[in-house]
Amino acid sequence: MRMPAGQFTTGPNHVVWASVNTVTDPWMRTVPASTHRSERHNHAKELHPMKAARFYDRNDIRIEDIPAPEAAAGEVLVKVAWCGICGTDLHEYLDGPIFCPQHGHPHPISGEDSPVTLGHEFSGVVEALGEGVDDLEVGDHVVVEPYIIRDDVYTGPDSKDYHLSKDMNFIGLAGRGGGLSEKVAVKRRWVHKIPNNIPLDEAALIEPLSVGYHAVERAGEFEEGAFALVTGAGPIGLLTSAVLKAKGAKVIISELSPLRRQKALDSGVADYAFSPAEVDVLAEIHKLTDGRGADIAFECTSVQPALDLILDALKPTGKVVIVSIWGKPASLDVQKVVLKELDIRGTIAYVNSHPETIKLVESGKIDLKPFITGKIAVEDLIDKGFDTLINHNETAVKILVTTDPERLAE
Ligand SMILES: [Zn+2]
């Protein structure tokens, strides 16, 4: 999940506080009592309200108390530790609803409409297991692959296309709870256990890192030392670069913002970072590659000049993966594609990418710490989180949010 780079103007925000138990939520799932494992042990718990950041409409996100979910059969109740704010969340706030179902128009799979709880980049701890879930334990650290996908779609370990299935959407956008709350009940299929050597704050970045992982996978095999050009060093450009470095590529970043170029170099994910406003990036790439050109390229800006640069910078038979989301058609110098036999490929989200992505972090090949640039309480979501990312987006990469005051004190 990611959004085009660029400036956003902020609209009026309406953060409304609802007092405990004043929200009646007709969109909460009801689950037969017999499947409520925790209910059998603790009736009081079911009534426990929890904090959640909910999307109502454009410029209308409210921090409210809503009933906490429970683990139904086949589900895992996750107590959220940290949840990242994604560009997609900002998009919903400024221009939405896009992924979020409009009020009165329920999503065809989740059956829910707005208000919906936000947050799809999260880590947490297993708090309860629903009936039939016996391969996880309470206390396990987990991340969630936040898909909402039809039950009849094959999602086995060799599927390469479940993420492209009809009406696919995301937990934390189209219903089924979200990471910007205390707890989420998630189908076992979408819960991935992580080892305890990955801190839970860093683990919240595994979801966007999986986007980078799948993007790199889409480029196919490449040799150790291959030159990879990445245009744009926003969160997804940086995390895609992190995967490229971990897989042995030499990474060249083209990015206008000096702060972002510095972050790319300081975090070690880029070998070279050039400003297209200050240097002839094409000439620099030709210098670095003895005139050959880059082997692969990843477009992470959704701006035309970046796409133009890539077509010129790639070597003959080079491959470009378009990672950014384009709000309008781009122009393409097709003759360059023809004469260099270039491959142009798209990529969206991830598919069976989480296990390998987790291994890259677990092994230490990718260090996610440098990309955490802020930690805030959910109460500050709009004022400190969204505002920073909308108005000062060069200074921030990932801002993590928690509902748990103890996590902030860590
Ligand atoms: Zn996202």
Q: What is the pLDDT of residues 367-383, one digit of tens each?
A: 999 999 999 999 999 99
Q: Which residues form the domain of 88?
A: 49-193+368-409
- Give one word for 349, left, alpha or beta, with left for phi > 0 and alpha for psi -120 to 50: left
State how far the Cα of 199 lies from the Cα of 186, in Å rounded to an integer: 21
Give residue 410's pLDDT: 82
Number of domains in the chain: 2
The pLDDT of 9-33, averaged and rounded, is 36
Domain membership of residue 132 (yes or no) is yes
State how far the Cα of 141 lies from the Cα of 263, in Å rounded to an integer: 29
Domain membership of residue 205 (yes or no) is no
- Under 8 Å between Cβ of 69 and 184: yes
State how far the Cα of 180 lies from the Cα of 80, in Å rounded to an integer: 8
Domain stop point among 316, 346, 376? 346
Q: What is the CATH number of the domain that holds 381?
A: 3.90.180.10
Centre of ligand 1 from the C-alpha of residue 215, in Å? 14
- Under 8 Å between Cβ of 36 and 70: yes
Centre of ligand 1 from the C-alpha of residue 385, in Å? 15
Pairwise pLDDT comparison (211 vs 410), residue with the higher score: 211
Residues 59 and 173 in one domain: yes
Q: Which of 12-26, 98-112, 205-219, 278-292 has the lowest mean pLDDT?
A: 12-26
Handedness of CA 149, 154, 157, 161 (dihedral sign): negative
State how far the Cα of 27 lies from the Cα of 29, in Å rounded to an integer: 6
Q: Which of 23-37, 60-74, 240-254, 263-277 has the lowest mean pLDDT?
A: 23-37
Residues 254 and 180 in one domain: no
Q: Is 156 helix (H, G, I), strand (E, B) or coil?
A: coil
**Whole-number mean pLDDT of the chain?**
90
Domain membership of residue 1 (yes or no) is no
Residues 78 and 138 in one domain: yes
Centre of ligand 1 from the C-alpha of residue 397, in Å? 12
Give residue 18's pLDDT: 36
pLDDT by residue (tens digit) across 119-147?
999 999 999 999 999 999 999 999 999 99
- Under 8 Å between Cβ of 108 and 114: no
Centre of ligand 1 from the C-alpha of residue 84, in Å? 8
Lateral strand order in the sheet of 314-322:
272-274, 250-254, 227-231, 294-299, 314-322, 343-346
pLDDT above 90 (res 351) = yes
Domain membership of residue 60 (yes or no) is yes
Centre of ligand 1 from the C-alpha of residue 35, in Å? 32
Residues 331 and 391 in one domain: no
pTM: 0.89
Give residue 305's pLDDT: 97
| Phi, psi (rounded to 5 degrees) for 399 | -105, 125
Centre of ligand 1 from the C-alpha of residue 401, in Å? 14
Residues 54 and 168 in one domain: yes
Centre of ligand 1 from the C-alpha of residue 235, in Å? 10
Span between the terminal Cα atoms of the chain, in Å:
28
Residues 79 and 187 in one domain: yes
Give residue 114's pLDDT: 97
Residues 256 and 318 in one domain: yes
Torsion of CA 262, 267, 272, 273, to 10 degrees: -30
Domain membership of residue 208 (yes or no) is no
Domain membership of residue 32 (yes or no) is no
Residues 230 and 317 in one domain: yes
Centre of ligand 1 from the C-alpha of residue 316, in Å? 33
